[in-house]
Amino acid sequence: MSKDKFYITTPIYYPSDKLHIGHSYCTVATDTMARYKRMRGFDVKFLTGTDEHGQKIERIAKDKGVSPKEYVDSIVLWVKKLWKTLDISYDYYIRTTDEIHVKAVQKIFKKLYDNGDIYKSSYEGWYCTPCETFFTERQLTDGKCPDCGRDVEKLKEESYFFKLSKYQDRIIKHIEENPEFIQPPTRKNEMLNNFLKPGLEDLCVSRTSFKWGIPVDFDQGHIVYVWVDALSNYISALGYGGDDDADFKKYWPADVHVVGKEIVRFHTIVWPAMLMALDLPLPKKIFGHGWLIIDGGKMSKSKGNVVDPMVLTEKYGVDAIRYFLLREIAFGQDGNFTNEALINRINSDLANDLGNLLSRTVAMIEKYFGGTLPSEQTGNEFDKDVIKVVENTVRNVEEYMEKMLFSDAFTEIWNLVRRCNKYIDETTPWVIAKDESRRAELAGIMYTLSEALRVIAVLISPGMPNTPKEIFKQLGIDDENLKSWDSVHNFGALSKEIKVNKGNVIFPRIDVKKELAELEEAMEKSMRECVANKGGEEKKSDEFITIDDFAKVELKVGEVIKCEKVEKADKLLKSQIKIGAEVRQVVSGIAKFYSPEEMVGKKVVVVTNLKPVKLRGILSEGMILAASDDGGNLKAVTVDGDIESGAEVR
Ligand code: MSP
């Protein structure tokens, strides 16, 4: 019997920045769903990729003195490395610069034109380059981009337009007749009330003022609008419009497009209209998730508050980070990212609850039975309840996973983990172990624990692909059937004579105080690199900078007028620095080398045009220059002699 298909996608990411933990959130969630569906026996196609065209990329590449393609190639390598690190099991990676995609987009554009859905006119309006989006005067918020709040540019160009307005009523009807189409339901009302019901305007779908994009093949000089280009990836990746469209026939329509809330509009209005115009079926579901928020705002490089997923995974391991993202934030809502919350989750849920359950179980089987359980086993009065909790957990987890409610699914699993730890306290194996006549009962308790752990390991597998391997290894489980999703419906499938292998602690506890300071420092370093590098490329060692490059750095003499330690951060000092007429607050990692008292009165050199960042939630508006050597010494750069604060350093 052939398997049912399941086609799931992430948005394709702009390779204009290094991706941060917010992007990883979307991809980890999509990966979890893809893994879950594979385990449930579906023939899954999981698509991700990069959205590589547009004015913004063209400008960044120009600034860097490379071609746009060279620029995106380097970032794509980095993105793929990130997905590998995070164990993202995508089946296909589409790049909008791939030939198969370019050809498909040209065909789509031509088809829409031939059908009369695209027409030529001229465009006058406002364009937000970072969002690659057009706005009318009416749509702007205080003259700025309504999505990101940045400046917009006035454009007047001869352009092609797509008849979006023609599809308005059909889209409204589709949304109203298919309650599952937009998830969660709040996003549906947003689309209907804010965009569809007030009326759609036709969409400008070509540009002539830059080159980096897919050319309209029947009209030289026109470039296909990046959103038409980008949205088409969902079908070009399946071979639509190409020589081999077997995958398209097999997998389209998509079962779910997972997207962030700010791009739900493109996916539930523009994309359906394009598909209707192409006479193709619509995706079954668009799931609009919330944002990872930091210090009350969306994480973004322009705000200088990005969190580097590579730093986090290096420190705590991929499963801990994936668990945190899936558990801490209800999928669909915004959620706060803090280092404290991450470390607390690792300590309480992973080290204490799950880690302890495994290590206690294995250690007891070793201690009381030399590592192998005898087949003679009897039950006890608490088994019934534990088994009932296992069965309920399995049922609820399946229900939540189907709805992509990952946080609820993990909450259920952890209730079971805690129920098992409680079972140890209730049954008191250490008391029973003293009574030779109760060995079968003791063995039965160990069996119940091991079997529950096996079920837990299977249930967490979609979200945490590595931890189950270690749990199975320590419980001596080789049989692949016992690792399958189906096996969780069969409590007792594990054979009685379990042979354990003691292993490492799966999640070591973290010293919160020490770790927070270190983490803060690693984050700061990575963010400074990221902001400085723009695209995160390595600087070649033989590359010189020009005097103009150097002149971009604004250095001034500042007098430290106040200085104090930052609470719970061993390495940080917070200084108020007088620079001419203004006073700036600067946070620096120099507390190990200077006391606050030593700093006051010093005339230091400050970088004054660095983008402000928040360190430990405290605003830092510059950087004190300091020299450090390999021996671990650090000295602040001060000026030789008397000079007014605010004086420029050149
Ligand atoms: N290129 C477009 C998507 C085209 S899809 C046909 C794009 N790219 S993006 O790189 O800016 O964003 C990709 C996804 O990352 C979006 O779904 C966006 O919501 C998500 N996130 C970016 N920052 C995020 C957070 N801070 N939190 C959660 N998701 C975030 O949009």
231 Cα: distance to centroid of ligand 1 (angstroms): 13
3-state secondary structure of 288: strand
Tokens of 461: 């597998």
Tens of pLDDT, residues 472-484: 999 999 999 999 9
Closest C-alpha to ligand 1, atom 24: 22
Tokens of 258: 């997972």
Asked whether 262 lines ligand 1 (CB < 6 A), one says: yes
Output the pLDDT for position 18: 74
Atom of ligand 1 nearest to the CA of 19: 10
Average pLDDT, the chain: 91
To the nearest whole percent, how much of the chain has pLDDT over 70?
94
Output the pLDDT for position 610: 85
Beta pairing, strands 133-135 & 118-128: antiparallel
407 Cα: distance to centroid of ligand 1 (angstroms): 20
Which of 26, 88, 336 to mutate to test ligand 1, by most ligand atoms within 8 A of the CB atom? 26
3-state secondary structure of 150: coil
172 Cα: distance to centroid of ligand 1 (angstroms): 25
Tens of pLDDT, residues 132-178: 888 888 888 889 988 888 899 988 889 999 999 999 999 999 999 99
In degrees, rounded to 5, the angle at the alpha carbon of residue 532 between the alpha carbons of residues 526 and 533 is: 85
Which helix (H) or strand (E) is 227 found in, with range?
helix 226-231
Longest C-alpha distance within the chain, in Å?
A: 91
**Placement of tokens 């989750």 in the chain:** 345
CA distances from residue 52 to 57, 132, 242, 481, 593 in whole angstroms, order as listed = 7, 12, 20, 42, 45
Type of residue at 334: D
Does residue 249 have a pLDDT over 70?
A: yes
Best mean pLDDT range from 266-280, 536-550, 617-631: 266-280
Sheet containing 118-128: which strands, arranged edge to edge?
A: 133-135, 118-128, 153-162, 203-204
SS3 track for 483-496? HCCHHHHCCCCCCC
Does residue 352 have a pLDDT over 90?
A: yes
Output the pLDDT for position 202: 94
- Please count the other Cβ atoms lying within 10 Å of the Cβ belonging to residue 395: 12
Q: Comparing C-alpha atoms, which of 334, 512, 270, 485 is closest to residue 398?
A: 485
In degrees, rounded to 5, the angle at the alpha carbon of residue 559 between the alpha carbons of residues 557 and 560 is: 135
Interval 604-611 mean pLDDT: 90
Residues 486/455, Cβ–Cβ less than 8 Å: no
Asked whether 263 lines ligand 1 (CB < 6 A), one says: yes
Q: Comparing C-alpha atoms, which of 210, 256, 221, 368 is closest to residue 26?
A: 256
Please tell me the pTM assigned to this model. 0.81
Q: Comparing C-alpha atoms, which of 40, 78, 72 is closest to residue 59?
A: 72
Output the pLDDT for position 540: 35
Asked whether 299 lines ligand 1 (CB < 6 A), one says: yes
Rounded Cα distance between 74 and 70, Å, is: 7
pLDDT band at 538 (very low <50, low <70, confident <90, very high): very low
Does residue 491 have a pLDDT over 90?
A: yes
Alpha-helical segments (H) within 52-98: 55-64, 68-85
Asked whether 26 lines ligand 1 (CB < 6 A), one says: yes
Output the pLDDT for position 529: 64
Asked whether 17 lines ligand 1 (CB < 6 A), one says: no
**Placement of tokens 């547009």 in the chain:** 54
Output the pLDDT for position 299: 67
Asked whether 227 lines ligand 1 (CB < 6 A), one says: no
Q: Identify the burial level of 144 via C-beta atoms within 10 angstroms of its C-beta, where 0-12 means exposed, 13-18 middle and 19 or more buried.
A: middle
pLDDT band at 343 (very low <50, low <70, confident <90, very high): very high
- Please count the other Cβ atoms lying within 10 Å of the Cβ belonging to residue 120: 12
Rounded Cα distance between 73 and 19, Å, is: 14
Closest C-alpha to ligand 1, atom 10: 13
396 Cα: distance to centroid of ligand 1 (angstroms): 30
CA distances from residue 327 to 18, 324, 349, 407, 464 in whole angstroms, order as listed = 24, 5, 10, 4, 11
298 Cα: distance to centroid of ligand 1 (angstroms): 11
Residues 239/246, Cβ–Cβ less than 8 Å: yes
Output the pLDDT for position 541: 35
Q: Comparing C-alpha atoms, which of 351, 355, 352, 343 is closest to residue 312?
A: 343
